[in-house]
Structure 1
Amino acid sequence: MKKLILFFAALFLLTSCSFDEDNPQFHVAFVPVVGVEMPEYFVHGENYEIKVKYQRPTDCYFYDGFHYEEKNNALVIAVQTLVIEDSNCASLDGVEPEEASFNFACSPTYGGSSYLFKFYTGKNEDGTNSYMEVEVPIAQ
């Protein structure tokens, strides 16, 4: 009988616990790029550090790297964040933008005369994605 009572007590305790408190919910979001530092030109076969400034809207957004996508002749780049779904987020309006960087290798076999980078800057008033376009020529 004691074992049966102990079993039901343990079962009650396990079912009354919430695992959501220990595992916060989150989703992925892109944040606006507000500035970039690019070289004036690229040289075939060389590597470059590209610095990107971005703005997090609240302190519930955490930097998670860059999202890259090739579209036609352009490299589309966005700053990816993980957003903790919490109602106690503090606004970061007025706070200086943060900076992250990535390495870009100028291919020795690339046949074009320049690279076009499109950095995600958010959504415009129509709700479509907007970009900061930077074209960097390749030195001959």
Structure 2
Amino acid sequence: MKRLLLILACIFTLTGCSIDDDGASLSLSLAEITDAEMPEYFETGEVYSFPISYLPDNACEQFYGFDIDREINGNVRHIYVFAVTARYADRTNCDDATEQERDLRDIVITGDENTEYVFHFWTGEENDEAQYLEITVPVGEPEETQEPTQE
């Protein structure tokens, strides 16, 4: 009797778990970055956040996050930024996309005054080659604020 219960329990367990997933499938893609608002310079040790505008393929795509790759070459820090969008396969009634904006947050500046940050924002591909909007921001110290002079 115990054996029969064990066999029945195994059968129910195996048939209760199906590898066929009828749920909605999620696909990720890259969205064209159209603009980024960057400061004129960075200060060492500061943490920055700045708005980035992107254009999804259509209105069914939702912002998923930013993918960031970093590369250091001497005093130049290359930051590659990609806007990732997500779409469920069961969504089919999609309007034209409108430009969206999200903040790229918590970029920590580690270079000294001789360092440059070169941001490469992905804008698409042309002839199977990635295209980027490039913005260079030097690391500098804030200018001394002068006391107003009295005449």
Deviations 1:35-81 (A, max 9, x none): 00000100101111121000112122111111011134311010111
2:87 corresponds, among 64, 83, 108, to: 83
How far off is 1:87 after superposition? 6.2
Partner in structure 1 of residue 136 of structure 2: 135
Partner in structure 1 of residue 118 of structure 2: 116
Gapped regions of structure 2 (runs ≥ 5): 1-15, 142-151
Q: TM-score, normalised by structure 2?
A: 0.69
Give identity over the alignment, percent: 22
Gapped regions of structure 1 (runs ≥ 5): 1-13
Whole-Å separation in 2 of the counterparts to 1:85 and 1:71: 35
Q: TM-score, normalised by structure 1?
A: 0.74
User: Radius of gyration: which is bigger?
Assistant: 2
Whole-Å separation in 1 of the counterparts to 2:29 and 2:93: 15
Q: Please give the residue correspondences for 1:1-140 in structure 2 after superposition, counting only pairs within 5 Å.
A: 20=22, 23-72=23-72, 73-86=77-90, 88-93=92-97, 95=98, 97-103=99-105, 104-107=107-110, 110-111=111-112, 112-124=114-126, 126-140=127-141
Structure 1 runs (4+) greater than 3 angstroms displaced:
none
Deviations 1:75-117 (A, max 9, x none): 1010111122246242324x3x11001221112xx25521011
Whole-Å separation in 1 of the counterparts to 2:123 and 2:115: 25
How far off is 1:19 after superposition? 5.2
| Matched positions, count | 117
